[in-house]
Every structure is written in C-alpha cells, then in structure tokens.
Amino acid sequence: MFSGNQSYKVDTQGRLPVPPRWRSSFAGVVKVTHGEDKRCLYVYTAPDWERRGSSINNRDDSPDKSKAMYRFFGFTEELDIDKQGRVQLPQDYRNYAHLSTDAVVVGMLDHLEIWSPDGWRELVEGLEPEDSKEEGGEEEEPP
C-alpha cells in the first residue's frame, strides 16, 4: 500500500528515482500510464496494473469504457528500474505530465502518481477547505 508524497529531481535524461521505501514492491519493473483524469502519470506494480485493467475491462460497454481502455492500455509503458533505483520516463510522458527538472511522487494506495510541482500544488490547494470569511460569510458570535 502506497501513501505519502516526496519531491525528487528529474535528471537531464528523464530519469526519476522510485522512492526507496516503495522500490521493492515493483520487482524491478514499473507500469507507467497517463493519469485517467489528471495531468500526471500513474505508476503500477505489474499485479496492480493487471487488476486495474481487469476492472476497466469488466465495466459495462459504453463510450466511457472505450475511452478508459484507450487511455489505460494505449498509453502504458513497461519500464525497468535501473541499478540506482531510477526509471527513465519517455519524453512524451514527461510532456504529458508537464515534468521538467522536478517531480512529486505521491502514494495513492495501489499506485503512485507523478506530478509536476505546479500541478501537485494546484491539486492540493483545491483540496483545502474553504474559509467562510473568504466567501464573504460572517461568523456569528456565541450568545
């Protein structure tokens, strides 16, 4: 199970470290695909990728299923983890996720997500609770 987040550098060859605490879960290989509805990359172990793929395939036939299948299967690459614990992300994947020299790796239970720092910051800001004073509301004083 993956949770938490960590910032990393992407080197000039597009290599990104797999976080050491999770590296052994991948058995030397990762499955990388485009985020389903986000500008990030999803990283799966082979068994979790197969489970997710089966889940998509078992949906009722619909245009949404077809779209999900194209996005999930059509944009998946199997990448080796090198001896230094890094994966080399293809340029088009880095472009898709707006990655340049920095990345945030986020644990999301059964997969990792790789975000640009700006994309991650934007997502996190959207998760923060709204402050009622910023919305123009006023707090009532207790009686």
Q: Report the candidate in 21, 17, 27, 18 with the shortest Cα–Cα distance to residue 48.
A: 27
Annotate the chain with DSSP letters as a single string.
Answer: -EEEEEEEE--TT-EEEPPHHHHGGGTTEEEEEE-SSSSSEEEE-HHHHHHHHHHHHTSPSSHHHHHHHHHHHHT-EEEE--TTSEEE--HHHHHHTT-SSEEEEEEEESSEEEE-HHHHHHHHHHHSPPPTTTTT--PPPP-
CATH assignment at residue 38: 3.40.1550.20
Residue 60 lies in a domain: yes
Residue 137 lies in a domain: no
What pLDDT does 131 receive? 65
Residue 133 lies in a domain: no
Residue 49 lies in a domain: yes
Residue 136 lies in a domain: no
What pLDDT does 132 receive? 39
* Predicted confidence pLDDT, tens digits, the chain (143 residues): 899 999 999 999 999 999 999 999 999 999 999 998 889 999 999 999 999 999 999 988 888 898 889 989 999 999 999 999 999 999 999 999 999 999 999 999 999 999 999 999 999 999 988 763 355 545 455 45
Range of the domain at 93: 2-127
What pLDDT does 64 receive? 86
- For residue 131, report the phi and psi dihedrals to the nearest 5 degrees: -90, 120
Residue 135 lies in a domain: no
pTM, rounded to two decimals: 0.86
Number of domains in the chain: 1
CA gap 134, 49 in Å, rounded: 42
Residue 9 lies in a domain: yes
Both tokens assigned to 90: 């293809």
Backbone region of residue 120 per phi and psi (left: phi > 0; alpha: psi in -120 to 50; beta: other values): alpha
